[in-house]
Amino acid sequence: MTLKKALVSLAKSSEQGILLRSEKIKWYEDMALNAFVSALKGPIGVIIRIMGVPNIAKAYEIDCREEN
């Protein structure tokens, strides 16, 4: 199970309202993206931040493309 899936699962399991749950999911997704981008070596992390990549999947796609 990926970190993102685990965090989203935790958010969904709480008994909070739908709006609060969606805010938690968005927050966890942003945290996962931030952790991923922070761990990137070299200038690609800065480039991804400047591009304003919306999610970790897109950031991963860009990183893989740049590695090749």
Q: What is the mean pLDDT of residues 42-55?
A: 94
**Is pLDDT of 67 > 80?**
yes
pLDDT at 23: 82
DSSP string, 2-64: -HHHHHHHHHHHS---HHHHHHHHHHHHHHHHHHHHHH--TTHHHHHHHHT--SHHHHHHHHH
Give me the domain span that covers residue 61.
3-67
pLDDT at 16 (0 to 100): 58
* Total domain count, the chain: 1
pLDDT digits (tens, 9 = 90+) for 23-37: 888 889 999 999 999
Closest listed residue to residue 36, CA positions, set 52, 55, 8: 55
Q: pTM of this prediction?
A: 0.68
